[in-house]
Structure 1
Amino acid sequence: MDDESSSSSFWLSKILKSRKKEGIIEQKITEDAYRDLKALLMRAKPDVIGDKIILKLPNGTVELRKDKLKVIAENQEQAEKILRNLHHYSMPPGLWPAYGLSYSIKRGSLLKSRS
């Protein structure tokens, strides 16, 4: 009987660990908030695809659209931390790493072949 309970708890822990979800926070925003957030995020040189602004951070991603702000991270705690720290982009770039923020690095545009 002891073997059965330890076996079932082993499988239960395996199932629960495999269900680990990434942290996603979505917020509906107003037009004014969109303009402010866009101005803020553009300082970090994000990828712009159509009407979507995508900022890749070391521990997550921020997506901004006209009506929605979406933060995607490894877990909910990280997503909340990114959301709390976004306003620090208004500070000088030298301070950004202290808050887990960074410039997006676009390797494709930096690497050009010489002919």
Structure 2
Amino acid sequence: MDDEPPNSWFSRLFKPREKPVLLEQRLSREAYEEYHELLMKARPEVEGSKLRLRLSEGIVELNEGVLRVRAKNLKTAEKILRNLHHYEQPPSLWPAYGLSYSLKRRRRPIL
């Protein structure tokens, strides 16, 4: 057992898992309006005054006065928060920063 490589199945099985992270940022009224305008370019899910944008690596939520980023780890959450301003660029460049459109699929009725 002592001569097993560190990446053996045993070490992977008992490796501590990273906990999901929630970054929360309080916003002024002006900052909220700017983020609202910015996130609307990515076609988020809208529930009343709450915007939810699902990305491949996490979720961005904008509620009245609060911006929340949920991700699988702190590094990913910080990257998403850092790259949000790239929504100002053309959508063709978004994938380079880990951003995307929020894809909404409508189910068609079966005839």
**TM-score, structure 2 length as denominator?**
0.83
The structure with the largest helix share of the pair is 1
Equivalent of residue 69 in structure 1, options 63, 67, 70:
67
Equivalent of residue 108 in structure 2, options 102, 105, 112:
112
Q: Give the deviation of 1:113 after TM superposition.
A: 3.3
Q: Gaps spanning 5+ residues in structure 1: where?
A: 1-9
Q: Give the deviation of 1:114 after TM superposition.
A: 7.1
Q: Which structure is larger by alpha-carbon Rg, 1 or 2? A: 1
Equivalent of residue 37 in structure 2, options 39, 51, 67:
39
Q: Give the deviation of 1:50 after TM superposition.
A: 1.5
Residue 6 (structure 2) aligns with:
none
Q: Give the deviation of 1:22 after TM superposition.
A: 0.8
Secondary structure at 1:79 match in 2: helix
Instruction: Give every structure 1 segment of 4 or more consecutive aligned residues whose post-TM-superposition deviation is greater than 6 Å.
Output: none
Secondary structure at 2:16 match in 1: helix
Equivalent of residue 94 in structure 2, options 89, 93, 96:
96
How many equivalent pairs are there?
Answer: 100
Distance in 2 (alpha carbons) for counterparts of 1:65 and 1:90: 20
Distance in 1 (alpha carbons) for counterparts of 2:38 and 2:63: 14
Q: Give the deviation of 1:112 after TM superposition.
A: 2.7
Distance in 2 (alpha carbons) for counterparts of 1:80 and 1:114: 43
* Percent identical: 49
Residue 48 (structure 2) aligns with:
50
Residues 23 and 77, structure 1, Cα contact 8 Å, conserved in 2: no
Q: Which amino acid aligns with 1:57?
A: L
**TM-score, structure 1 length as denominator?**
0.80
Secondary structure at 1:17 match in 2: coil
